[in-house]
Amino acid sequence: MKIKQTTLIILLLLFAISNSFSQDVNESEKIKLLINKFNDTDSWINGEAINKLAEIGEPAIDELLISLQDKNENVRWCSAIALEKISPLGKQSIPFLIKALKYDNANVRWCSALALGKYKSDANLAIPDLQKLLYDEDYDVRWAAYISLSKIDKNSLNISYEISDVIKKLEYLTPQLMNELSVPGVSISIIQKNKIAFSKSFGVADANTEIQVDDKTMFEACSMSKPVFAYIVLQLVQEGKLDLDKPLYNYMPEKFVSEDEDYPKQITARMILTHTSGLPNWRKGGEERENPLPIYFKPGTKFHYSGEGFYYLQRVVERITNQTLQ
């Protein structure tokens, strides 16, 4: 009887081991089949496979690390996406993701950088390569590098450079950024210790005539003058001539269009300086025709960039000082 019981136990153990081995083999094959779908040109099929691998999680990592090094660019990209979704599981991914930061494909660099950030301080070895990506030619990669460094070690963002290194970065990045943002021309100067340390012009002043930008080219200041104006406003506050939280209606009533007739009486200098006044960026049709000026929402409740708000505050400042800002 004892022999039969022992035999039965052994058979059950063998069955359990065999069943477990079969499941492991099945899962391994499933992972490989899913990764093989990265070769498909249909991005929907790629995405479905990525999500299924993410559901499998850590057991899929080793095969994904192999496919991350595949010759096929799409396979590498899909592998990087899957690894980003699975991270921070599987710390063995870290050295492979660091290597992927140097790949030619910006999408792979982007996903790899984001994945490394999720490992936080465990990905300290990635810091030097991520710092280099802060100056990558791709905007999303630069952003991902910044986000990841802030998660791994915020102090790694405090990078001090020699002026010569800064100039090299500027000369390298400026043409790329101009192309990325469709900027025809720009002039850059660096002032160090009250002296011009660097000055260079890029591109054209007029896209039609292709006249080159030089050190005499005039640019519109536009919104770059807003911080200067804000400084003037705060000086008036310091002198007791203006209250940041007193409705501007008390200084200079204006006619606005709003759902609540009290909204125009609620706008303050603080709201305008923080772009929460409810006023539009610019009124429809411009200032010249004196078109109706709306207040879109209750002042102080939302952010909405507003040039009109600054123009209103400018008129208030001009009345207080009895001087024009023009």
Q: At a CB cut-off of 8 Å and minimum separation 6, what does 205 contact?
A: 184, 185, 211, 212, 213, 217
Residue 199 Ramachandran class (φ > 0 left, ψ -120 to 50 alpha, else beta): beta
pTM for the whole structure: 0.57
Task: Give a yes or no: residue 326 inside a domain.
Answer: no
Instruction: Kindly state whether residues 124 and 27 are assigned to the same domain.
Output: yes
Instruction: Kindly state whether residues 12 and 122 are assigned to the same domain.
Output: yes
Instruction: Kindly state whether residues 14 and 120 are assigned to the same domain.
Output: yes
| Cβ–Cβ under 8 Å, residues 91 and 59 | no
What is the DSSP code (8-state) at residue 206? E
Residue-range definition of the domain harbouring residue 305: 224-321
Instruction: Kindly state whether residues 141 and 181 are assigned to the same domain.
Output: no
Starting from the edge strand earliest in sequence, which strands make up the sheet with 185-192, in order? 185-192, 195-206, 211-212
Query: Among 156, 179, 209, which residue terminates a domain?
Result: 156
Q: Mean pLDDT per 10-residue run, the chain (326 residues)?
A: 57 52 69 94 92 94 95 94 94 96 94 94 95 90 93 89 86 90 92 89 89 89 90 96 96 90 95 96 70 90 95 95 87
Task: Give a yes or no: residue 130 inside a domain.
Answer: yes
Task: Give a yes or no: residue 99 inside a domain.
Answer: yes
Domain count, the chain: 3
Query: Among 174, 192, 219, which residue terminates a domain?
Result: 219
